[in-house]
Amino acid sequence: MPTKFPSERFFHPGLLAAALQLVPLGCDSTFEISLHVDVSSPDACGDGLLDPGEQCDHGAANGPGQVCRTNCTFNVCGDGDISPYEECDDGPGNGDDRACTLECQHNVCGDGLVGPDEACDDGDAVDNDECSNACALPTCGDGLVQPGEACDDGNAVDDDECRNTCVLSVCGDGLVQLDEACDDGAANSDAGDCTLACALATCGDGLVHSEGSGAEECDDGAGNGPGHACNAACILDVCGDGDLGPVEACDDGNDVGGDGCSPLCEFEECGNAIVDPGEECDDGENNGPAQACRSDCTSAVCGDGIVAPGETCDDGNNVSGDGCNANCTVPKRVFVSSTYYTGNMGGLDGAAASCTARAAAAGLGGTWQAWLSSATSTPLTRFTPSTSGYARVDGIIIADDWADLLDGTLDAPISLTEFGTAANGAGVWTGTNADGTAALYMCGGFTTTQTYHGETGSFSATNATWSKADQPLTCAGTRRIYCFEQ
């Protein structure tokens, strides 16, 4: 019996192959195949058959939103038609920075692609890195502590523990925090109204509040109080405030003396080293009979018979010429030698040695020079000037001071020897003018007895002839010498 297949619009080789499969195997068999080929209809998209030029043909399933489009082409990403395998398709509007990506997937936060509503997209789930999980760039105030931020509380409150600049609030930032009593920023000062610890300055805090509204003189903290250097009102303890301070012996609340407590807050008594009313002096433990201040706090005076500091003598009077001057200074002693010498005394040093020997013989002691000159040395240059005057060994003043000695006249003649006896006989070797300068004739500096001559003076004179009197004499003769204590 003939086998028939459904008619098609055109012959398809596959139909022939299918028919051949039905032919029974055997030599005697006969199989009749009838093919009805309808060539009246052309190839058509949508017939369910993949015709030449078609990418697909799902028949009635072709259409928008399907795998195979109405024109028998595959629905692909970028054609503007959303296939069953696409989330979106904006055609030419697709892009990795668009709402629909080049893969026809919705651009979402976390896909690693920065979409139109995203500031960033790092494709990870780390929320506190440079791009948050909401695809937003990190900013102070987003509640996430990012690198470079000390804190981020996500609010706009600037005076809490985290500032609006995402830095921790600290004392000195100018904002008063919950644990601060004040904060004047850069104006904070331990001497000001708001301390460096952001606490209000108060007396007793150990800080001297002397700036701003402060008027404290001191502040020793717990050490403030009566009897202390700083009182409870932060005022320095001073003598006269009625509060007995640590360095006061008394304090009667005034600065008046004579009431038992001095203006220096010391007990008024002789010996306290304070000159209290009625006292001339008070050197404390240095008061004493031979001191500048006596034991009864009266001042030592020249003429009281006691040699006090500053005095070289005190014979109980204020009369000069008795060995102790009226100002309690001792004049330098002068004598004319009891011994005679030729013009060769071994020079000025030899003459000085002779003066010292004569003084020692009389028990005078001291250091002595002869009133003699040489070409290189004179009394004017060699002597130590005296400010207390010059006197004979009997105390009689011959000159009030060095200038008085050189003025050409004496108050009394140098007529006594070292023993206090009156000199007589010939004059005195000098070689010196009355003003202490060298005369013309000096026996060669008093080193020879040869043909040289030497100037002489008169020990009985009070005018200039006391040093240069007669004509020069030959150096072989003998004369006395003047000796002056240095």
CATH number, domain with residue 389: 3.10.100.10
Asked if residue 448 is part of any domain, the answer here is yes
- Amino acid, res. 394: D
Residue 13's domain comprises: 3-34
Consecutive sets of 10 residues in the chain, 486 residues long: mean pLDDT of each? Answer: 39 41 46 46 82 90 91 90 89 89 90 87 84 85 87 87 89 91 95 96 96 95 95 95 93 89 89 88 91 91 89 90 91 98 97 98 97 98 96 96 98 98 94 98 96 94 95 94 98
In the block, residue with structure tokens 């060298």: 438
Asked if residue 352 is part of any domain, the answer here is yes
Helices (H) and strands (E) in the chain, counts: 5, 11
pLDDT of residue 32: 53
Q: Give the helix, strand, coil percentages of the chain, each rounded to 5.
A: 10, 10, 75
Angle 410-412-418 (CA atoms, 0-180°, nearest 5)?
Answer: 110
Domain total in the chain: 2
Kindly report the number of other CB atoms within 10 A of residue 307's CB atom.
16
Comparing CA positions, the residue from 15, 84, 21 lying closest to residue 49 is 15
Asked if residue 234 is part of any domain, the answer here is no
pLDDT of residue 130: 83
Exposed / middle / buried, residue 173 (Cβ in 10 Å: 0-12, 13-18, 19+): buried
pLDDT of residue 416: 98
Asked if residue 42 is part of any domain, the answer here is no
DSSP β-ladder status, 368-370 and 456-457? unpaired
Residue pair 234/218 in contact by the 8 Å Cβ criterion: yes
Asked if residue 104 is part of any domain, the answer here is no
Asked if residue 446 is part of any domain, the answer here is yes
Kindly report the number of other CB atoms within 10 A of residue 38's CB atom.
11
Residue pair 430/372 in contact by the 8 Å Cβ criterion: yes
pLDDT of residue 136: 84
Comparing CA positions, the residue from 250, 480, 445 lying closest to residue 355 is 480
- Side-chain-side CA neighbours of residue 192 (13 Å): 13
pLDDT of residue 203: 96
Asked if residue 9 is part of any domain, the answer here is yes
| This prediction's pTM | 0.46
Distance between alpha carbon 17 and the CA centroid of its chain, in Å? 112
Asked if residue 424 is part of any domain, the answer here is yes
